[in-house]
């Protein structure tokens, strides 16, 4: 039998069993809206599926039934016993048809116009008409109007056929003659489909799982005993037991897990049929079908997924002509994508259709009283889109058999939230819509990294771990401290670190251990390191929720039992990120945030050191410019030429203050930022080091004051960005001016062209390079640089940014290499992310070298290398 | 087993309606009773995993035949000093709202069936924290038994701040 058909039969039989029960409840409680909409939904689903499978007889009955139920749901009619009887009769007809379908894999001949007629009559407002004298077709085997009070229990896999159900129900005079040979034939085959798969209570699986865990533990103990004995007759059988146990464990685990592809299996067919019915061209793409989901979760999201794909096909994708007119390909695409992320399973359903109709949603929101004009005016487009998740909200202009009866996104949302998930939606007019379903892994099996900190073991979901770094006091990678904040230099980036010991208050930090391990974790776009003492293996674990009294500890996402039988807490990287300053966005802000976040991710994020010095706003300086943070004893400050200096690492280090009028105190301790350049160091005196933040740098207000680049919003506050270059020149000019000139004499008057769209970098590089003895010219775009070339300007070296509006750095470099004037001028790329791939691409485009932004030393040495190689070549 | 209970009516059989059955436990020489129907298991000392950031009353969690059980230190809950070193205690596993909790005590005694006429309300002078977790008192011959209200024992949120 067709897979689709057999699944439909199993599913529908189950739905019908539910319906029987619900209808009885409805009769006792005729106006319970929740009950009504549930019944309606089930019938709606049956009708919809019938349509796709090409079962016209079933569909017709279900459609008529749905119309009646729709009236009940909308409160236009009350459910009277007579009406309920008619509904039950229709259900029995459906069951009969299903039974025939199962037996013969085709709908039986015959028609139901009489029943449909009565249903329509009822929907039309007439009191439920009594069952008319029935034609003697074998199709009439159904037991009509059974007494509801005698409904059977909703057993799993009921496979109710008319014949099987009939004797259990109160017989009516009509029924007696309904017993036809056809019914008998059906009875014999009734369980054919049911036998292929059985439905098992999840509790039973849970119990099995528990027992298997116990078995594994016992096995482990036995194996341990065995290992301590040299020769044992138990050896071979125990080995076998061990293997069987492992397989059993895997098997039981598998009973709970299924690839999401199982839920997608019928979608291609549905989409194909839909595209025929709607005369659209639709391509369905599915990625990540192998992503495993807990069975229970899968069941819960199956219907929502189908609904959403149907919606995309029906509302989202436009007619081919419309698409062509909008300049899109005639074939619309619906994309399904499933993957694991940060301890969640993400399922995306996207289409490239017309997006949501904002005006229609507004009208509907007004009509249904969900919002008034002023509410709507104050809302963003994305906020208005959220209305589609409200109950009874359908914007389809006409009720089609595909969608548009108000069974929709509200159900989707309810179902997903039932399993602790979220659904978000983004829609762009003319470009399409995308739904993102996020389901927590609470029920799923995850691979976890086991780490140790202060003698306690913890599990970290492998999914959020990017890499592991070993840091030792005398090794290349060491943990450095900025005030009390540990950081790690990792491939030209400064990684903020979180000490697990401190975070979880696992006792005082005693002696620094010789070596520690950093678990580099990622949450969204935020990357940070977790300091642990030891790293063990990875283990497959089943996440179990923590006891209710511990739920408010956000650091843990659950706990589990390891193979050795011990309980272990599972760390939640999201919680840790949130607890260490990176605040997760609340749901309401999320939608608006997402579009912005995407933009931002493309741009640079800079690590900034925030500090206070003198008066006014907090100040910030790019972290990468700072060599070290120190605290000096003010009593050791000496004066030379009336300028404050301290002895630092065997040398004199000039101290500079932000405000020239600021007087350095006489005693106590003072934090300073140490800027180093070759053997020279300079200390910038500050009052307090506040924080390190990762921020997208955007200079809001440019300032004309020396020493300041401008103001930016950092960590939510207006902050002055200091021009480190300015203070460097202050120290150098005053102190090392003469030597400086000597040292860089050979590079004096070398001309450097800086191409960068960011005023911040231009401002930063100019003083830096000037100090190093270069003559600096800056331009804000590649076009401007090329016009300088045309104007006949010559430079010894060009420094160019990669990401620039208009012509980017790669294009710029290859263009320059084609100009006769500049083709031999070395070009150094300046970029915030220097991956090996970028490097190769840069070289191919004509760059001589690649330097990370903010890396002063590397920039200067690269420049001088580039120049010397040029000299060598010349 | 606790000596004090030798004199207590130990008849476990034939529980009359006014009789209630308790698993008797001792903490710092005080006798307590936990309604027998709530008790799932009695455990010898187990390997316990600490839970950082948990309330101080939570000693950790342990594996009871594949189920994760949260261990509650009754001494801490009752603001008593920790057990002297070298003495290992016992645990009584109770079911509360479908979750299992292991209440750590000094020792576990026998099951007592106590008649209603021995029951007494909490004296007004009882320490507020103790009163909070006590369902009432039973007057035994040589000692007094405090009936623990398991739900209250497991609810740390509303504890009175007096210590």
Chain B residues in contact with A556 by the CB 8 A cut-off are: 51
> Given the structure tokens 């076998």, which residue do they identify?
A240
DSSP string, A446-486: EEEEEEEETTEEEEEEGGGEEEEEEEETTSSS-EEEETTEE
Provide mean pLDDT across the span A583-595: 37
Q: Is the confidence at residue A427, as pLDDT, over 60?
A: yes
Among A544, A550, A565, the residue with its CB nearest the CB of B54 is A550
Contact A486, A531 (CB under 8 A): yes
**CA-to-CA distance for A401 and A50, rounded, in angstroms?**
11
Interface residue of A455, A552, A567, A571 to substitute, partner B, most B CBs within 10 Å: A567
pLDDT of residue A749: 65
Contact A431, A355 (CB under 8 A): yes
Contact B163, B79 (CB under 8 A): yes
Helix (H, G, I), strand (E, B) or coil at B146: strand
A242 sits in the region (left: phi over 0; alpha: psi -120 to 50; else beta) called: alpha
* Cα→Cα distances B96→A559, A744, B40, B104, Å: 19, 78, 10, 15
pLDDT digits (tens, 9 = 90+) for A434-472: 888 877 654 545 678 999 988 889 999 877 788 888 887
Instruction: Report CB contact under 8 Å: B60, A567.
Output: yes
Chain A residues in contact with B54 by the CB 8 A cut-off are: 550, 553
Pair of tokens at residue A500: 């697990």
Please identify, in words, the CATH class of the domain defined by A445-591.
mainly beta
Of B112, B131, B128, the C-alpha closest to B39 is B112
The residue ranking higher by pLDDT, B24 or A632, is B24
Kindly give the pairing relationship between strand B30-35 and strand B144-148. parallel
Provide mean pLDDT across the span B6-14: 44
Instruction: Report CB contact under 8 Å: A561, B66.
Output: yes
Q: For chain B, first and last CA: distance in Å?
A: 30
Q: Which of residues 541-560 of A touch B (CB under 8 A)?
A: 544, 547-550, 553, 555-556, 559-560
Banded pLDDT at A845 (limits 50, 70, 90): confident
> Given the structure tokens 């909008």, which residue do they identify?
A326
Please identify, in words, the CATH class of the domain defined by A202-255.
mainly alpha
Of A48, A36, A56, A153, the C-alpha closest to A108 is A56
> E strands of chain B, at which residues?
19-27, 30-35, 39-43, 58-64, 67-73, 90-96, 99-105, 107-115, 119-120, 134-139, 144-148
Neighbours of A428 (CB within 10 A): 15
Phi, psi at A337, each rounded to 5°? -145, 130
pLDDT digits (tens, 9 = 90+) for A592-631: 344 344 444 434 456 778 888 777 778 888 776 777 777 7
Instruction: Report CB contact under 8 Å: B50, A456.
Output: yes
Beta-bridge mates of residue A695: A606
Q: A587-600 burial, b for 16+ CB within 10 Å, e for fewer? A: eeeebeebeeeeee
pLDDT digits (tens, 9 = 90+) for B32-90: 999 998 898 898 888 888 898 888 888 899 988 778 899 999 888 888 888 877 777 88
pLDDT digits (tens, 9 = 90+) for A336-366: 999 877 667 889 999 888 888 788 888 888 8
**CA-to-CA distance for A148 and A312, rounded, in angstroms?**
39
pLDDT of residue A459: 92
Is A218 part of the contact surface with chain B (CB cutoff 8 Å)?
Answer: no
pLDDT of residue A400: 47
Report which secondary-structure segment, H or E, holds A712: strand A708-714
**CA-to-CA distance for A400 and A405, rounded, in angstroms?**
8
The residue ranking higher by pLDDT, A5 or A686, is A686
Beta-bridge mates of residue A332: A282
pLDDT of residue A519: 92
Report which secondary-structure segment, H or E, holds A638: strand A638-640
Q: How far does A615 lie from chain B, in Å, by closest CA? A: 39
Could you tell me the residue ranges of all domains in chain A?
Answer: 3-133, 202-255, 259-333+345-437, 445-591, 604-738, 749-873
Pair of tokens at residue A293: 């989901």
Name the architecture of domain A259-333+345-437.
Answer: 2-Layer Sandwich (3.30)
What's the per-residue H, E or C state across A757-794?
CCHHHHHHHHHHHHHCCEEEEEECCHHHHHHHHHCCCC
Instruction: Report CB contact under 8 Å: A548, B60.
Output: no
Q: Is the confidence at residue A147, as pLDDT, over 50?
A: no
Q: Is the confidence at residue A508, as pLDDT, over 90?
A: no
pLDDT of residue A128: 52
DSSP string, A490-512: ETTEEEEEEEHHHHTT-S---SP
Beta-bridge mates of residue A800: A755, A829
Name the architecture of domain A3-133.
Answer: Up-down Bundle (1.20)
pLDDT digits (tens, 9 = 90+) for B139-162: 888 889 999 888 888 887 654 444
Name the architecture of domain A749-873.
Answer: 3-Layer(aba) Sandwich (3.40)
Size of interface A-B (CB pairs under 8 A): 64
Mean pLDDT, chain A, integer: 73
pLDDT of residue A697: 62
DSSP string, A536-559: EEEEEEE-BPPPGGGTT-TTEEEE
Among B49, B99, B155, the residue with its CB nearest the CB of A566 is B49
Judge if pTM exceeds 0.80: no
Interface residue of A549, A558, A564 to substitute, partner B, most B CBs within 10 Å: A549
A666 by Cβ neighbours in 10 Å (0-12 / 13-18 / 19+) ranks as: exposed
CATH ID of A604-738, from 2.40.50.180, 1.10.3720.10, 3.40.50.720, 2.60.40.150: 2.40.50.180
pLDDT of residue A40: 80
pLDDT of residue A765: 74
**CA-to-CA distance for A135 and A132, rounded, in angstroms?**
9
- A202-255 and A604-738 share one CATH topology? no
Chain B residues in contact with A551 by the CB 8 A cut-off are: none
Kindly give the pairing relationship between strand B99-105 and strand B67-73. parallel
A701 by Cβ neighbours in 10 Å (0-12 / 13-18 / 19+) ranks as: exposed
Sheet architecture: strand order including B19-27: B107-115, B19-27, B30-35, B144-148, B134-139, B119-120
**CA-to-CA distance for A67 and A90, rounded, in angstroms?**
12
Percent of chain B with pLDDT over 70: 85
Which of A317-321, A674-678, A787-791, B25-29 has the weakest average pLDDT?
A674-678
pLDDT digits (tens, 9 = 90+) for B118-128: 888 888 888 88
Instruction: Identify the closest residue of chain B to A500 by CA–CA distance.
Output: B52
Which of A147-151, A406-410, B63-67 has the weakest average pLDDT?
A147-151
Q: How far does A472 lie from chain B, in Å, by closest CA? A: 26
pLDDT of residue B122: 85
**CA-to-CA distance for A565 and A570, rounded, in angstroms?**
15
ipTM of the complex: 0.79
């Amino acid at each position: 039998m067709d897979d689709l058909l057999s699944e439909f039969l199993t599913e529908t039989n189950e739905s019908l069993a539910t319906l029987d029960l619900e209808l009885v409840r409805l009769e006792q409680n005729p106006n319970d809206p929740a009950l009504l909409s549930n019944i309606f939904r089930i019938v709606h689903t049956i009708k919809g599926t019938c349509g796709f499978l090409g079962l016209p007889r079933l569909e017709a009955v279900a459609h008529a039934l749905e119309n009646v139920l729709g009236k009940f749901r909308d409160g236009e009619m009350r459910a009277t016993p007579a009406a309920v009887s008619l509904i039950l009769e229709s259900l029995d007809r459906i069951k009969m048809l299903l039974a025939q379908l199962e037996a013969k894999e085709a709908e039986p001949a015959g028609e139901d116009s009489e029943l449909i007629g009565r249903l329509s009559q009822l929907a039309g407002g007439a009191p439920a008409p009594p069952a008319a004298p029935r034609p003697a077709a074998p199709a009439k085997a159904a037991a009509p109007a059974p007494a509801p009070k005698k409904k059977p229990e909703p057993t799993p896999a009921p496979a109710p056929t008319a014949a099987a159900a009939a004797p259990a129900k109160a017989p009516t005079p009509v029924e007696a003659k309904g017993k036809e040979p056809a019914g008998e034939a059906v009875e014999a085959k009734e369980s054919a489909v049911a036998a292929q798969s059985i439905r098992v209570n999840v509790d039973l699986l849970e119990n099995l799982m528990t027992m298997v865990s116990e078995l594994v533990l016992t096995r482990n103990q036995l194996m341990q005993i065995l290992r301590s004995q040299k020769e044992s007759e138990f050896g071979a059988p125990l080995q076998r037991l061990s293997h069987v146990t492992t397989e059993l464990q895997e098997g039981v685990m598998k009973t709970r897990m299924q690839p999401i592809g199982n839920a997608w299996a019928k979608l291609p067919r549905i989409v194909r049929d839909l595209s025929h019915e709607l005369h659209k061209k639709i391509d369905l793409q599915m990625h990540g079908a192998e992503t495993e989901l807990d069975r229970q979760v899968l069941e819960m999201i199956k219907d929502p997924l189908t609904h959403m794909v149907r919606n995309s096909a029906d509302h989202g994708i436009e007619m081919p002509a419309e698409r062509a007119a909008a300049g899109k390909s005639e074939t619309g695409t619906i994309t399904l994508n499933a993957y694991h992320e940060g301890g969640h399973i993400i399922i995306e359903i996207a289409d490239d259709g017309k997006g949501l109709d904002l005006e229609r949603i507004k009208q509907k929101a007004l009509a249904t009283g969900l919002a008034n004009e002023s509410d709507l005016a104050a809302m963003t487009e994305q906020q208005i889109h959220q209305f589609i998740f409200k109950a009874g909200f359908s914007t389809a202009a006409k009720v089609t058999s595909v969608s548009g009866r108000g069974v929709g996104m509200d159900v989707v949302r309810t179902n997903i939230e039932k399993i602790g998930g979220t659904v978000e939606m983004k829609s762009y007019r003319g470009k399409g819509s995308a739904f993102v379903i996020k389901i927590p892994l609470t029920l799923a099996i995850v691979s976890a990294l086991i780490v140790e900190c202060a003698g306690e073991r913890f599990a970290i979901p492998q999914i959020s771990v990017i890499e592991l770094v070993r840091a030792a006091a005398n090794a290349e990678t060491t943990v450095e401290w900025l005030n009390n904040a540990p950081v790690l230099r990792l491939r030209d980036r400064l990684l903020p670190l979180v000490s697990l010991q401190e975070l979880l208050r696992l006792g005082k930090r005693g002696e620094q251990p010789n070596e520690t391990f950093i678990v580099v974790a990622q949450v969204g776009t935020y990357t940070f390191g977790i300091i642990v003492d030891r790293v063990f293996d990875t283990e497959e674990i089943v996440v179990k929720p923590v006891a209710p009294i511990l739920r408010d500890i956000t650091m843990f996402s659950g706990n589990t039992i390891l193979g050795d039988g011990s309980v272990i807490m599972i760390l939640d990287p999201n919680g840790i990120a949130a607890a260490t300053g990176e605040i997760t966005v609340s749901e309401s802000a999320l939608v608006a945030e997402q579009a912005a976040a995407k933009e931002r991710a493309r741009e640079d994020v800079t690590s900034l050191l925030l500090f206070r010095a003198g008066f006014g706003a907090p100040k910030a300086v790019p972290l990468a410019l700072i060599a070290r943070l120190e605290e000096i004893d003010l009593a050791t400050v000496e004066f030379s030429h009336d300028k404050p200096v301290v002895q630092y690492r065997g040398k004199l280090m000039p101290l500079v203050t932000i405000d020239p009028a600021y007087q350095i105190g006489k005693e106590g301790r003072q934090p300073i930022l140490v800027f180093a350049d070759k053997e020279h160091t300079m200390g910038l005196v500050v009052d307090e080091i506040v924080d390190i933040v990762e921020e997208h740098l955007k200079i809001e207000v440019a300032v004309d004051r020396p020493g300041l680049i401008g103001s930016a919003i950092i960590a939510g506050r207006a902050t002055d960005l200091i021009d480190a270059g300015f203070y460097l020149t202050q120290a150098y000019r005053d102190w090392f001016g003469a030597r400086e000139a000597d040292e860089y004499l050979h590079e004096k008057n070398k001309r450097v062209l800086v191409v960068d769209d960011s005023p911040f970098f231009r401002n930063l590089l100019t003083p830096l390079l000037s100090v190093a003895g270069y003559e600096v010219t800056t331009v804000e775009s590649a076009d401007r640089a090329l016009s300088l070339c045309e104007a006949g300007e010559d430079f010894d070296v060009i420094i160019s940014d990669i990401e620039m509006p208009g012509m980017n750095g790669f294009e710029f470099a290859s263009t320059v290499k084609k100009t006769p004037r500049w083709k031999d001028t070395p070009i150094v790329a300046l970029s915030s992310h220097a991956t090996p791939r970028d490097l190769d691409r840069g070289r191919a485009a004509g760059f001589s070298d690649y330097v990370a932004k903010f890396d002063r030393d590397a920039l200067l040495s690269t420049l001088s290398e580039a120049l010397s190689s040029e000299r060598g070549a010349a | 087993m606790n000596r004090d209970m030798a004199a207590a009516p130990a008849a476990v059989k034939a529980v009359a309606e006014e009789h209630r059955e308790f698993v008797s436990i001792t903490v710092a020489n005080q006798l307590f009773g936990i309604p027998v129907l709530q008790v799932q298991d009695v455990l010898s000392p187990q390997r316990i995993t600490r839970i950082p950031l948990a309330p101080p009353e939570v000693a950790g969690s342990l594996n009871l035949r594949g189920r994760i059980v949260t261990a509650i230190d009754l001494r801490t809950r009752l603001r008593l000093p920790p057990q002297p070193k070298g003495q290992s205690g016992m645990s009584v596993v109770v079911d509360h709202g479908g979750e299992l909790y292991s209440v750590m005590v000094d020792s576990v005694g026998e099951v007592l069936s106590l008649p209603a006429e021995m029951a007494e309300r909490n004296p007004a002078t009882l320490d507020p924290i103790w009163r909070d977790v006590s369902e009432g008192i039973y007057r035994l011959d040589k000692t007094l038994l405090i009936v623990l209200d398991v739900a209250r024992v497991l609810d740390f949120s509303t504890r009175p701040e007096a210590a």
